[in-house]
Amino acid sequence: MALRTLGWTATPTPVTPLDALATELGLGWLGIKRDDACRPTSGGSKVRKLDVLLASEPWLSAARWVSVGAIGSGHVLCCAQAAKELGKAFHGHLFWEDLCPTVLANLAVTATQSTGLSYHRSRLSLALTAPHVLWANGARGVIPAGGTTVAGTLGMVRGGLELAAQVRAGAVAEPDVLFVAHGTGGSAAGLSLGVQLGGLATQVVAVGTVERMLAPDWALRRLIRRVAAQIRLADLPVDVATATPQILRAWVGRGYGDASPESVAACGRLLTHDAYLEPVYTGKAMAALLALAPQLRGKNVLFWGTAHGELPAVDPRWRDRLPARLRRRLARAQRPTNPRRRRLLLATSAAVALAGGGYRLLGYTDVPTWRGRVLSAREVRIVMALGEALLPVQAQTEAHLLLVAQGVDRYLSGLPSKLQLLSRAALGAVEQATPLGRMAQRMTRQSAPDRRTLLVRLHELGGPLAEAARGARDLVLVGWYQQPAAWPAIGYEGPQVSASPRPIAAKYAALIAPAGALPKAAGRPERSRP
């Protein structure tokens, strides 16, 4: 398949056999595809995506690129290096994630290589203050998160074809199963299509590394359909139905950026076999492989190493290049914690909330038209208040917000009673947790900007209240995404139903009795029973 590229992935990356580990796990063969050898940057599968993406418009002619990721994002790091390699300016939008040595190392390179950085306290804060970097695809030089566009995914399709060529050359045993970390979906989608085009019968297993809401199954299927349509333009046969990877989500941990215990253990185990993984992405994928090894006995398994390799030297004063708020956050995070002070803060806040409990639980205006199955009128007001803080301006009318609350109620009505209770508790916790956000009145009495600030502060506190804030936010988004007005923003094209009339509709209509008609048995004398 002829594609315009920068020529960065012309040389195949090697596959390193892990014979000792294969024997230990009872596998027929086990190897790791070494994308850390991709050049000219520090490597990683992101180079494959950028090799095609940056050679296409509008990025090719843009003088400045912009992208987004966590402070330790390998994608942002690769974009910054690529921009410096090609003489472009690069501005990164960063949000917080838990610190570990890998995160700090990546951040140091990103700060050294970038021409500018912006810091957002959380993903929610980023979405509220700089939504254009999440939704723009090429506009103003924006490179989407993970480099996952049709063009970027075609770079991973070429990776699948590269593997097929290595199999045909006898350099690699044909894998029965291929494990790869699944973030924004470009790697899993591209490899699934690539191995199929290359004639391999390999099953791709995508191990989730981010929350389902940020990488839903439908988004991956939609990406595969779009890339397949592009491939068909080159008169190449591709079957979307058989090119869909298996998605595993049991190894996500606490979410994006979280180095789960299983992931850390997997990284340590691979070190004993002279293979390096990082704990945020590839470690989770390897943890899944190790756990599922008993089901893979005798099979050939390939692990696709997406992480970068050795990093370049950094500016010794790289911290001075960071935004001031990020420097302060790093300093706080690296200071020894004082759990006694945190417990005192929580206890004091709880006492204040209880003392003002009567005032804070009264005074809600009724919702006369509300006939929900799960949410009370008070909880409807909480959902509507959160909607005013989180949703676009056009959705902040009373009528739209009530529709959002109805969508939340409809969603909750299908959940077990325990999950309903937890969801309602999350709404109540966010409503009454304002003392922890240094606010006196409950959340529904705050302005919309103050409500957003409260959610960000609860997220930064961590623990159960952070989970409650995320849960309440997600409930509102679930209600909003049910509304057709929200679909363009998330790329959903609506129900895939033909616009032409369907013959079955007329046949069904003929079976409907006219208004006022009685059942056929009406008026018949009732049979006497023996």
User: What are the tens digits of pLDDT across the range 479-527?
Assistant: 888 888 778 766 777 776 655 555 666 666 777 778 777 777 666 655 5
Q: For the segment 26-40, what is each residue's pLDDT rounded down to a tens digit? A: 999 999 999 999 988
Q: Tell me, which fold does domain 46-147 have in CATH?
A: Rossmann fold (3.40.50)
CA distances to 96, 171, 260 from 146, in Å: 16, 30, 21
Q: Do the domains at 15-39+171-305 and 46-147 have one common CATH topology?
A: yes
- Measured at the CA of 200, the angle between CA 195 and CA 202, to 5 degrees, comes to 80
Q: What is the pLDDT of residue 468?
A: 85
Q: What is the pLDDT of residue 343?
A: 55
Give me the residues of the chain with pLDDT under 50, please. Answer: 341-342, 345, 348-349, 352-360, 529-530
Tokens encoding 147: 């480099």
- Report the interhelical angle of 377-390 vs 463-481 (nearest 10°): 80
3-class SS at 216?
coil
Q: What is the pLDDT of residue 389?
A: 87
Whether the bond into 58 is cis, omega within 30 of 0: yes
Phi (first) and psi of residue 503, to 5 degrees: -60, -35
- Domain 15-39+171-305 is in which class? alpha beta
Q: Is the pTM of this model over 0.75?
A: no
Q: What is the pLDDT of residue 239?
A: 87
* Per-residue three-class SS string for 157-195: HHHHHHHHHHHHCCCCCCCCEEEEEECCCHHHHHHHHHH
Domain regions of the chain by residue span: 15-39+171-305, 46-147, 339-488
Q: Which residues, including other chains, have CB under 8 Å from residue 238's CB and lie 6 or more apart? A: 193, 196, 197, 228, 231, 232
Q: What is the pLDDT of residue 352?
A: 45
